[in-house]
Amino acid sequence: MITKPKGCHDIYGQEAKKWQYVNKVIDATMEKYNYSYIRTPIFESSEVFHRGMGATSDVVTKETYDFKDRGDRDMTLRPEGTAGVVRSYIENKMYGNMPQPVKLYYNGTMYRYERPQSGRDRELTQFGVELLGSDDPITDAEVISIPVNIYKLLGLKEIKVNINSLGDDESRNNYREALIAYFKPHIHELCEDCQERFVKNPLRILDCKVDKDNPLLQNAPSTLDYLNEESKLRFEKVKEYLLALEVDYVVNPKLVRGLDYYNHTVFEIEAHVEGFGSNNVLGAGGRYNGLVELLGGPSISGVGFASGLGRLIMALDLENINLPIKDEVEIFCMAVSDTEKNYAATLVQSLRMSGFKVDMEYNNRGLKAQFRQADRLNAKYLIILNDQDLANNELKVKNNKTKEEVTLGLDYLLYYLDEALIDEDDDSAFTDNCYADDCQDDHECSCHHDQE
């Protein structure tokens, strides 16, 4: 039997419906923020990621899927979204032919060769945003607010935003020198990777997963002590804007990001989820004012974040959040004889093209089995065809909940179904649109906070 690759997943059935629902929430939120969708290639020239993400990052040194194509060109499956979006921004000259800043969001698969474990896969899906063309601190705060609001809309609670500042180039260089002086006498007490990072990029030592509990890392100098005045003022403005956007935050001076292109604001967003363990980060990002220029573009500022969709859905499951997913069909069409089936094919197509969600019998089962199938599909209405009714230009429609059945003229069917389903939608409008934080009604509803 052929099986899927290690670290990959088949997403289908009810799980797929969760993914689709979360994607709809993401799309709706991004529309409110006026971000445009962008789709970049799944593989790119290796230089895009190796240069953009930094040669010292763990992703580049250990985790990228690199290969030669048939033209002997070096290619890499994308391990993250930012570098590809920035490449597209430069190549398509978005800095000159689009309103500035350019606000983009993506949602797609990424590939990292790492040891598969809970919440970490070799094929993963990330959604994220990139805001290019503004250095205003308010854009940092806006970008941070986006995943916070998405997580809240989906029902997650106890969301914690950790922020820090790496400062501008001068501040970062000063901090780098301080770290070198601090770690140099003790570097052999750290893992081999950290010893290599010490030479290439000592900031990366602070992001080490092996030595994260080592007192050397716990007591390392803080980035905030090496910020120049301009960087300090900028960080204060970011915090002011976060408060204005009602985003609670905690300053974490030990926070650095695993990719080399970050400067100024960096952040991680956690959710307290039982069963998540110590790695409870759902989304992260920061500012990267030098990345566009590094990849061959003009000197343009940028800020963004990325969030793993798989980890987000795992968090929703662990918190027992019942997403208001519509798992039903509006109409199920039943037929037995060849004449009935021929008419059903035409009728079902017409109903679908008229905007109804319709299914029908495909396996030549009897009516009793078809009724069971309609129940499995949570069908709201049944159309029961028989030759005698069709000869009289009529058919039977049955409300599958109340069991009320009517015989209609064929010309009246669309009008009847339209009115009946509109009435049902009106009755369920509250539960279909209910979010936990917004629900003020005293009556019983099916949103997730009633399941607690």
318, 348, 382 - which closes a domain: 318
Q: Closest Cα to residue 380, out of 443, 444, 427, 450?
A: 427
Do 236 and 265 share a domain, yes or no? yes
Q: What is this structure's pTM?
A: 0.85
Give the burial string for 261-292 (b: 16+ CB within 10 Å, else e): bbbbbbbbbbbebeebeeebbbbbbbbbbbbb
Instruction: Report the CATH number at residue 346.
Output: 3.40.50.800
Do 301 and 371 share a domain, yes or no? no
Which band of pLDDT confidence, cut at 50, 70 and 90, is reported for residue 255?
A: confident
Do 232 and 279 share a domain, yes or no? yes
Residue 266 lies in a domain: yes
Do 351 and 306 share a domain, yes or no? no
Mean pLDDT taken over the chain: 88
Residue 185 lies in a domain: no
Q: What are phi and psi of 271, to 5 degrees?
A: -130, 130
Residue 300 lies in a domain: yes
pLDDT greater than 70 at residue 259: no
Do 423 and 293 share a domain, yes or no? no
Q: In this structure, are residues 120 and 114 in contact, taking their beta carbons and an 8 Å threshold?
A: yes
Residue 222 lies in a domain: no
Residue 8 lies in a domain: no
Do 391 and 247 share a domain, yes or no? no
Residue 65 lies in a domain: yes
Do 147 and 284 share a domain, yes or no? yes
Q: In this structure, are residues 145 and 269 in contact, taking their beta carbons and an 8 Å threshold?
A: no
Average pLDDT over residues 2-17: 92
Residue 237 lies in a domain: yes
296, 318, 340 - which closes a domain: 318
Q: What is the pLDDT of residue 58?
A: 58
Cα–Cα distance measured from residue 35 to residue 255, given in angstroms and rounded to the nearest whole number? 27
The tally of domains found in the chain comes to 2
Average pLDDT over residues 169-192: 85
Per-residue model confidence as pLDDT tens digits over 387-439:
999 999 999 999 999 999 999 999 999 999 999 998 676 544 333 444 344 44
Do 277 and 349 share a domain, yes or no? no
Instruction: Report the CATH number at residue 97.
Output: 3.30.930.10
pLDDT greater than 80 at residue 182: yes
Do 137 and 253 share a domain, yes or no? yes
Q: Closest Cα to residue 437, out of 154, 22, 65?
A: 154
Residue 280 lies in a domain: yes
Q: Which residue range(s) make up the domain with 392?
A: 331-432
Which band of pLDDT confidence, cut at 50, 70 and 90, is reported for residue 244?
A: very high
Do 131 and 101 share a domain, yes or no? yes
pLDDT greater than 70 at residue 174: yes
Q: Rg of the chain over CA atoms, in angstroms?
A: 28
Do 250 and 311 share a domain, yes or no? yes
Do 268 and 293 share a domain, yes or no? yes
